[in-house]
Amino acid sequence: MRLFLRGILLAWLILGAAHLGWASCASDDPDGSKVAAARATADQTCSGLGAGCDAGNHGAYVSCVAHVASDLVNANMLPKSCKGAVKKCAAHSTCGKPGAVTCCLTTAKGTKCKIKKDAASCSAKSGTAGSCASCCDACPPPGSGPSCPASATTTTTPGATTTTTTTPPPTSLKFTTVAGTTGCGSNGFSNPALAPFSGEIDSDTGGTTKLDDLGLGCLYLGGGNTTIYAGATVPAGATSYFGIGSGGSLIASYGTGPADCTRGAGPGKHCVNNDALPACTSDADCGGNSDACVRDANCFFGPPLELPVQTISAQTTCLINVVETDASGTLDPTPGDATLTVPVSSRIYITGNLGSPCPHCASGSCTYGARASLGCATTSSSGTSIDCPPEMGGGAYQDLMVANLTPLTTGTSTLTDAAGNFCASQRTAGAFSVAAARRISEHGTAAGDLTGGAAKPVSLASAFCIPATASETDNYFIDLPGPGGLGLDGTAQIVPTP
């Protein structure tokens, strides 16, 4: 009797825990979009790692999906309560099982799905073979969800009906920067930015009294007492790919390589204050330099960005911008509206080279820096290249500046505060060395219909916050914590996933 009661109690606990887990995911993701996007991301990621649905190894596929789901949870892109749902859909699938089918069976309790070794085995049980790979999507036929084919056509001839299912190749959103303004303005806008503009700063939260224009193609940093940095020109010719998932979701992409992919950093770590890039587990392994032991860059958000400092040339800086965690977003292809989240970490290097704040790739080799005279390639109008990092040691590396570009949008992104404190614990009221600023507004423009596959003009905008760095010197010069503003001019195009 005691064993019987223990059995009932154990069953109740298991069923109760399962019920609570499901209820939690249902409340954390009521429309299922986060789970669907996570499944699409996992499928694309695992395919790129050789462990995809068609790779022929079910266990490896499920393991890969589980790891990706954990990464998405850690990146706050998937509720922790929904991680099990993503893994369950992979486990109850035909992925890695050649010839297997999802089988929809009618029972007294309704339709249920089983994985059968082939269509004949499904028919033998009076079931209907589904066209979707996962039981999460297959029933009732024809099913609907991330593992289902995108389209099916049915042809009827006398005495026969033939259904042909066609799955189109995966597609990606390709964004490439083009030249914007020729002048972002001087520090504090004593020399104003030049047209075209992407936004403005205003003296009131309602935006009725403009103080200064913000140039299109410019990055602005810091609060009302930014000491030396004016707007930085974003180079033309930089491309980023974003995978197109289900339901209009945008997901991190492998792109063609590190220069244009949008996957997060890690898991390995190396010291970025040393040209030899030794492996590390903490800053102590890097001589104690704060934020020097960082996750390895898998993808870069554009080429190195040059920050010349006319007033104190010794502070001239080169920024290496790394995609810190997987990019994500949404796309409505018909009007060409997009909203992105791109978490970026910027590695700050002082080069003191006013004429060339970052090394350039010229005639196929790096002009100076950690890879001086070694081979390189670039499409950037500035001539900078991820192949040509600056010298990292000898005090050149300062620290890490983190920014979450969200939203980076074809719409409008705005920060307002009646006291000019746009960000938590902001160091100095105002923005971009204008103490009176109470509103920052950056404006994007939609691309228009992208469904035809042609590249269309587009602009992306973001007003965002930058936390303090580990260096009080950089916090003083950039005036952090404080706001940032970004307007990117470019082209958008839906292309086959590279």
pLDDT, tens digit (0-9, with 9 covering 90-100), for 274-302: 999 999 999 999 999 999 999 999 999 99
Residue 36, judged by CB atoms within 10 A of its CB (0-12, 13-18, 19+), counts as buried
In the numeric block, the tokens 């032991």 are attached to 293
Per-residue confidence at 16, pLDDT binned at 50, 70, 90?
very low
Helix, strand and coil in the chain, % to nearest 5? 20, 35, 45
* 399 pLDDT more than 60: yes
Q: Domain spans of the chain?
A: 21-98, 99-154+161-168, 172-496
Whole-number pLDDT of residue 162: 54
Q: How confident is the model at residue 157 (pLDDT cuts 50, 70, 90)?
A: low
pTM: 0.73
Tell me, what's the pLDDT at 216?
98
pLDDT of residue 75: 67
Q: How open is the CA angle 359-382-380, to the nearest 5 degrees?
A: 105
> What does the pLDDT look like over 35-84, one tens digit per residue?
888 888 888 778 767 788 988 899 989 988 998 888 888 767 788 999 99
For residue 150, name the pLDDT band (cuts at 50, 70, 90): low
pLDDT, one tens digit per residue, over 254-279 is 999 999 999 999 999 999 999 999 99
pLDDT at 154 over 80: no
Q: What is the mean pLDDT of residues 188-202?
A: 97
If you average pLDDT over every residue of the chain, what do you get? 89
Cis-peptide, bond into residue 407, ω within 30° of zero: yes
Q: What angle is formed at CA 242 by the lines to CA 297 and CA 62, rounded to 5 degrees?
A: 75
CA–CA separation, 142 vs 405, rounded Å?
Answer: 39
- The answer on pLDDT for 6 being more than 90 is no
Distance between the two ends of the chain, CA-based, in angstroms?
63
In 139-256, beta strands by DSSP E = 151-157, 160-166, 171-177, 197-202, 210-215, 218-221, 232-233, 239-244, 249-252
The predicted structure's pLDDT at residue 159: 57
- Return the structure tokens found at 310: 């006319």
pLDDT at 353 over 60: yes
Helix axes 83-91, 58-74, angle to 10 degrees: 170
What pLDDT is attached to residue 15?
37
pLDDT value at residue 2: 47
Distance from C-alpha of 181 to C-alpha of 459, rounded to nearest angstrom: 13
